[in-house]
């Protein structure tokens, strides 16, 4: 099937912690990538494939800042240029592994796998919940067997919460309203949703310390920032002037058309001095994420048998539909650009292939 | 590959016992199906796929007689119509999961996955051995990695018994004669076979209590009743006026073109008051069935490499060839009907698709 | 993908030891083959597929020199002709399993899976290291998940040794020179390589008993004898008039386009009276082979994603490129011959298919 992910986008390749002193090989957007740190601490990403026989460079070793292939010892510099071949005095012209632009912005390392020249026109989205003052955050990465758009659509329509996470659903909110409002920019979609007053779920009461015998107003909002990232947040109005905000950041990186790396992060801005509450919330969110993954993998596993119909849409899908439009437009733009270049420069087939990496 | 199973046929979907108070999800003819019982005890079968996002309905829950999707809580009635969406006041027009005709005739639940309107023109075959007076029966279901026609052809040609089940072969019958007679109707094939007098195999002697130092006449017959079911029976003439009849009922339901649900049932009409004999025979037949499955999976595993020739036919294949003709005719009829309808009603591609489920 | 292995070639099917009193089923060049010995000790190879229903003959049994199918008991003679069907008096005309020419030349059994008439025009290559006087040899067979040409190319370019087998690399030879010389015949390629003087690796010192505090000259040579076999050898000039030669014989038999049976054999011609040294060398070579397999499987696993480029060539690939030319020529000849025959004899499609087995 044709991949449904844009290439021209900053995706999360790994967490900053994952790239230490070794070599990290990972498949991203169906391309093998090797990530490592220079002695300066800077992160480098190369195509994980030696130009000679295709051996994964991630199975080789570092010699200072040079990456040495574990097969015949070819040596690559930080731009991916081969600078040494042990069995001969000169390096043949043009031997290289593709280098990908990366940005190390903890907790994430971002990668640009699309047209190299376009990477500087874009930036990874800002995620103040994960780096800013006043928030405590944690997270984990899983690789799940589902297309990345299923992940986005899952978090764009939170009316699944009562069925998928009944233990975490506040009493009285078993039937959630659809979205209040969806606002759309050229590249992003934001929904908001105001929930009817309801008591606290157990985990909320434990986390906030708010009294249980009252009803609280909640506001929920979420933003599709790019095909790589979706941020959702919710506030409990505790009536005590405190914010009680929580956020989940979903970094969604296709591994292949049917598998996705999900970097699932959580942040809160209250009780920051109490580590136990942070751990409690982390455990709740980890459980929720596992339940999400089970749903998404079940959908992917049964998708597309003969005679299966396209899904119908509900009011709650207003955000989903806007996001589908944005992604379709991005894909059409990439395809169009590739076609236009092909028209302009009708060189050899392999030259055209190089014009658009991958 | 193109499926070689007719859709317009009653297939066994499950045993009656399997469908209790929960939801049973099962793939039948490459379609996901969910089976459950209403409070009245009636069985319902729906497409196992929510019309909204495709989540398997079998992972949801029952609320009285309503089936609630485990993702966003859509509620389906017993005809598969969506009658409630928690996140909005009204249900969009036409939201439904396909409902399949079912018949609960213990020990089996039958399903019709073809043209819904044609289900009433046919009935599941009568299986008096499994439900009638004077017989004791038991069985089990396995899912094997072989096309369903391999199963039929296996049981239509019993000259495999001496090689595949040497321990169960009566002494002196190591070389079995081919069929005596094959009679054919439009939709069924029956073979009969008279065996030369022979002593009892150990398991027969233990089951019947007949003396071992004699030879007995045996008659064997089998009927392909439909692509879903094959019944075979054999009689030992004990010379004591008793019948000593045994029957094996093979309910053969394709899961996919390369996998088959086999409901393997056994019945006998003697020593009905002795449970131990029933258990003995059940154990013998279970062993025989496992040996059958091993053979069929070995054939499927090596089928169709480059240069492999089509099989040749033996005298013993007279029944097999007649059954192949019947199935080919059924498939041609289904294809022709679909084409004719397409000619008559040249609507949109998706409308035509709906005209023939799957 | 189109297989890249010639059919008209003697390949190693098994070791002589593997074919004992039983039936050995093995997939070779994507064809199922059954191997067994007659009472005379002669080896026979048939297509591992009964002509009737396709059951693997290797799951049957031997009755004297007749191979009996384990399904319906069809009996095949040593030429693959069916000579008995238990359920009927006569054998239908022309029922047979294809017979393949074999040669039993210990330690290997060779098979010809191509045009039967051409087998006598060729012979399996002589492997004096494995059978001749003055050598001690041992080996083992593994099945690895990589195309057979990756195996050949691996052993045609030994500049991988310092990276892949650092523990076995003599000190001072961490950067190996490329080939000195490549000589090419119509069907074979030989490379030679003279190594700069260097001390012994630990395993070499243990095997040869030569003093460690000296430098030794080594010569390395390898020959691609056919798509089925590559032989490499190396000599240490011990300065004591002794030869100190070692050889590795790689019998490379495609199982399928992505899997290969590798018969990895090793021989040495010194210290033949000391079994411990033979076992020591066998253990070293077994470790080396496992390291080779890991490299080859890693390359196969990542081969051919979208956008991956063809590999570039180094000086050390001079032998590889010559071998690729030979194999390409063999494939073209086979294809051309098949086309020519098709032109000459435009019979039915199935008749043409038979003209070239497989």
pLDDT tens profile A281-307 = 999 999 999 999 999 999 999 876 666
pLDDT the model gives residue B338:
72
Whether B295 and C70 lie within 8 Å, measured CB to CB:
yes
User: Helix, strand or coil for residue C180?
Assistant: coil
> Is C313's CB within 8 Å of A48's CB?
no
Tokens at residue A65, please?
Answer: 């800042």
Q: Does A32 touch chain C (CB under 8 A)?
A: yes
Task: Compute the C-alpha angle B56/B61/B64, nearest 5°.
Answer: 135
Element containing residue C24 per DSSP (H, E): strand C24-28
pLDDT at C177: 78
- Cβ of C315 under 8 Å from any chain A Cβ? yes
Average pLDDT over residues C4-12: 96
Task: Give tens-digit pLDDT for A180-221.
Answer: 889 999 899 999 999 999 999 999 999 999 999 899 999 999
Q: Are the Cβ atoms of A86 and C314 closer than 8 angstroms?
A: no
The answer to whether B103 and B203 are in contact (CB under 8 A) is no
Confidence band, pLDDT 50/70/90 cuts, at residue C145: very high
**C neighbour chains, 3+ CB pairs within 8 Å:** A, B
Q: Is the pLDDT assigned to residue A74 strictly greater than 50? A: yes
Interface contact flag, B53 A303, Cβ < 8 Å: no
Neighbours of C2 (CB within 10 A): 6
CB contact under 8 A, B86 and A176: yes
C358·B306 Cβ contact <8 A: yes
Answer yes or no: do C54 and B316 touch at CB < 8 A: no
Which residues, other chains included, contact C297 with Cβ-Cβ below 8 Å and sequence gap of 6+? C144, C145, C146
CA distance A197 to A214: 9
CA nearest to A92 within chain C = C314
* Secondary structure (3-state) at C31: strand
- Low-confidence stretches of chain B (pLDDT < 70) are 1, 304-309, 339-358
Contacts of B155 in chain C (CB under 8 A): none
β-pair type (C189-198, C216-226): antiparallel
Tell whether B159 is within 8 A of chain C (Cβ): yes
Q: What is the mean pLDDT of chain A?
A: 91
Q: For residue C1, give the 3-state DSSP assignment.
A: coil
Dihedral sign, CA of C151, C155, C156, C157? Answer: positive
- Residues C347 and B11: their CA atoms lie apart, in Å, by 43
CA distance C72 to C329: 44
CB proximity B17 to C under 8 Å: no
Chain A interface includes B73 (CB < 8 A): yes
pLDDT of residue A353: 35
Q: Could you tell me if A85 lies within 8 Å of chain B, comparing CB atoms? A: no
Q: Tell me, yes or no, if C181 comes closer than 8 A to chain B by beta carbon.
A: no
Rounded to an integer, what distance in angstroms lies between the CA atom of residue B55 and that of residue B32?
Answer: 11
- Residue C354 pLDDT greater than 90, yes or no: no
| Residues A53-56: contacts with CB under 8 Å, at least 24 apart | A53/C153, A53/C299, A53/C311, A54/C299, A54/C302, A54/C303, A54/C308, A54/C311, A55/C295, A55/C298, A55/C299, A56/A25, A56/A32, A56/C298, A56/C299, A56/C302
Nearest chain B residue (CA) to A166:
B70
Residues 6+ apart with CB under 8 A from B290: none
The nearest CA of chain A is from the CA of C329 a distance in Å of 22
Which residues fall within 8 angstroms of residue C335, CB to CB, at 6 or more apart? none
Distance separating alpha carbons of residues A108 and A124, to the nearest angstrom: 10
B173 touches chain C (CB under 8 A): no
Among B315-329, C177-191, C259-273, name the one with the lowest average pLDDT: C177-191
Task: Give the per-residue pLDDT at C138.
Answer: 94
* Amino acid C284: pLDDT: 97
CB atoms closer than 10 angstroms to residue B232: 18
Q: What is the pLDDT of residues C278-311, one digit of tens each?
A: 999 999 999 999 999 999 999 999 886 666 667 8
Strands of chain A, DSSP E: 10-15, 24-28, 31-37, 43-47, 61-63, 66-68, 75-76, 82-84, 99-100, 102-105, 108-112, 136-144, 181-184, 189-198, 216-226, 229-237, 245-256, 259-268
Q: Which domains does chain B show, CATH number per domain?
A: 10-121 (2.102.10.10), 128-319 (3.90.380.10)
Start-to-end CA span in chain C (Å)? 15
**Distance, CA of A171 to CA of A273 (rounded, Å):** 28
List of residues 6+ apart from C24 with CB closer than 8 A: C14, C18, C34, C35, C36, C58
Question: Do A235 and A219 contact (CB within 8 A), yes or no?
Answer: yes
Q: Which of B35, B34, B37, B33 is nearest to B21 (CA)?
A: B37
- pLDDT value of residue B174: 85
pLDDT value, residue B306? 61
Instruction: Determine the Cα–Cα distance for residues C49 and B304; give it in Å rounded to an integer.
Output: 11
In SS3 terms, B44-84 reads as EEEECCCCCCCCCHHHCEEECCEEECCCCCCEECCCCEEEE
Strands A229-237 and A216-226: antiparallel
Structure tokens at C321: 């490129």
Virtual CA dihedral for A134, A136, A142, A147, nearest 10 degrees? -30
Report yes or no: B234 at the A interface, CB cutoff 8 Å.
no
Q: What's the confidence (pLDDT) of residue B312?
A: 87
Q: Which residues of C touch A59 (CB under 8 A)?
A: 298
Q: What is the per-residue pLDDT across B299-346, written as a single tens digit (0 to 9) for each?
A: 999 886 666 667 889 988 999 999 999 999 999 999 887 766 655 544
- Residues pairing with C84 in the sheet: C75
Question: Predicted confidence band at A131 (pLDDT cuts at 50, 70, 90)?
Answer: confident
Q: Cα distance from A55 to chain C (closest Cα, Å)? A: 5
Give the model's pLDDT for residue A303: 79
The whole-angstrom separation of Cα C316 and Cα C319 is 7
Q: Are C35 and C45 in contact (CB under 8 A)?
A: yes
| Helix and strand totals (H; E) in chain C | 7, 18
Q: What is the pLDDT of residues A238-274, one digit of tens each?
A: 988 888 999 999 999 999 999 999 999 999 999 999 9
Can you give the pLDDT at residue C328? 95
């Amino acid at each position: 099937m044709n991949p449904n992910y844009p290439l021209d986008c900053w995706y999360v390749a790994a967490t900053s912690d994952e790239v230490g002193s070794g070599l990290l090989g990972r498949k991203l957007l169906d391309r093998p990538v090797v990530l490592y740190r220079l002695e300066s601490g800077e992160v480098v990403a190369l195509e994980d494939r030696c130009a000679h026989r295709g051996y994964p460079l991630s199975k080789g070793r570092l010699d200072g800042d040079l990456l040495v292939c574990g097969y015949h010892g070819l040596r690559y510099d930080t731009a991916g240029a081969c600078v040494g071949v042990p069995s001969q005095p000169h390096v043949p012209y043009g031997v290289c592994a593709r280098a990908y632009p990366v940005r190390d912005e903890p907790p994430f390392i971002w990668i640009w796998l699309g047209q190299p020249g376009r990477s500087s026109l874009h930036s990874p989205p800002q995620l103040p919940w994960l780096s800013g003052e006043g928030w405590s955050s944690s997270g984990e990465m899983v690789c799940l067997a589902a297309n990345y758009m299923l992940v986005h659509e899952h978090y764009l329509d939170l009316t699944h919460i009562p069925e998928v996470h009944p233990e975490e659903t506040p009493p009285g909110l078993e039937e959630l309203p659809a979205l209040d409002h969806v606002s759309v920019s050229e590249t992003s979609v934001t929904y908001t949703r105001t929930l009817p007053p309801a008591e606290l779920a157990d985990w909320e009461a434990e986390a906030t310390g708010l009294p249980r015998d009252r009803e609280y107003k909640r506001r929920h909002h979420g933003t599709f920032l790019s095909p790589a990232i979706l941020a959702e947040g919710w506030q409990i109005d505790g009536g005590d002037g405190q914010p009680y905000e929580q956020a989940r950041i979903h970094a969604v990186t296709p591994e292949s058309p049917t598998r996705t790396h999900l970097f699932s992060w959580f942040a809160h801005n209250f009780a920051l001095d109490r580590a136990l509450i942070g751990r409690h919330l982390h455990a709740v969110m980890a459980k929720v994420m596992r339940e999400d993954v089970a749903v998404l993998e079940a959908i992917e596993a049964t998708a597309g048998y003969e005679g299966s119909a396209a899904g119908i849409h509900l009011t709650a899908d207003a955000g989903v539909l806007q996001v589908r439009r944005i992604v379709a437009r991005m894909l059409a733009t990439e395809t169009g650009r590739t076609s236009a270049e092909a028209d302009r420069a009708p060189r050899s087939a392999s030259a055209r292939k190089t014009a658009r990496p991958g």
